[in-house]
Amino acid sequence: MRDDTPAFPVANEYYPNDQIQYGSNGMTLRQWYAGMALQGMVSNPEYQGNFAEMAESAFRFADAMVKRGKE
């Protein structure tokens, strides 16, 4: 698993009148994991970190998850 693996890709959609609705890669899996970790931290009333520390911690969790997925 790469660090830039898309979490929610949306494919291009092709219509009979030759129009195309372009998709996107969405966020990366790393960003998704960080968001989920951050959600848990913010919902814990006992967590006493500041916002910058929370973001750094969330991405450390995410990096660990991505690394674990590569094993």
What is the pLDDT at residue 15?
Answer: 95
The model's confidence at residue 48, banded by pLDDT at 50, 70 and 90, is confident
The pTM (predicted TM-score) of the whole model is 0.69
Is the pLDDT score of 33 beyond 90?
Answer: yes
Name the residue ranges covered by the structural domains of the chain: 28-70
Residue 4: CB atoms within 10 Å: 11
Kindly compute the dihedral angle of the four CA atoms of residues 65, 69, 70, 71, in this order, to the nearest 10 degrees.
Answer: 100
Could you write out the three-class secondary structure of the chain? CCCCCECCCECCEECCCCCEECCECCCEHHHHHHHHHHHHHHHCCCCCCCHHHHHHHHHHHHHHHHHHHHC
Which tops the pLDDT comparison, 71 or 24? 24
What is the pLDDT at residue 18?
Answer: 93
